[in-house]
Amino acid sequence: MPRRSRKQGRIPPVTLSKPAGGRRASIWLLEGGIIVLVGLNGYFLYSALAPAAPSSRLTPPRTSAVRPAHEKVQVEVLNGCGKVGIGQRVRDYLRTQGFDVVNIENAEDFQFPETIVLDRRGQTTVSDAALAVAQALGTTHVILQRNDDRMVDVTAIIGQDYDQLRLSQE
């Protein structure tokens, strides 16, 4: 029997017929894409963490002197007198006074003879925020009625005496 040589049992290695230049270009494109993505991530991270520069073009001019302590007081206005449009008038007036009016609705009924300010956040005494809203409206009727379910600091229920409030005098 003839003897086999060792070379006959081996399988020659398979080589792909891809040119070396094409593979190198693919790697360069992949590396370039990775570098661009890392750069974009860095830019977005910087944009999110860096404080925004104030822009005078985006800030609307204020028409009256705003008390900075009142800017964070969130107020809800309820129409308790039934006069159409009184909620919007009170909202506009309180905003010029520096309050953040976040809600306008009708009260459960329209039988409120006087305007009432309800303090929703006070602990044992009426808060300064509720007193400031009452003073801005020109009413002395302030009641401590804490309610954590309401997402406001103060509720103003506009009563039948709306024509005696400060917003009617200005």
Q: What class is the 68-169 domain?
A: alpha beta
Q: In the chain, where are the structural domains located? A: 19-56, 68-169
pTM: predicted TM-score of the whole model, two decimal places? 0.59
Adjacency order of strands within the sheet including 116-119:
100-106, 74-79, 154-158, 116-119, 142-144
Pairing of strands 142-144, 154-158: unpaired
End-to-end CA distance of the chain: 122
Classify 87 as helix, strand or coil: helix
Residues paired with residue 77 on neighbouring β-strands, in sequence order = 104, 156
Q: How far, in Å, CA of 121 to CA of 52, rounded?
A: 32
For the segment 76-135, what is each residue's pLDDT rounded down to a tens digit? 999 999 999 999 999 999 999 999 999 999 999 999 999 999 999 888 899 999 999 999
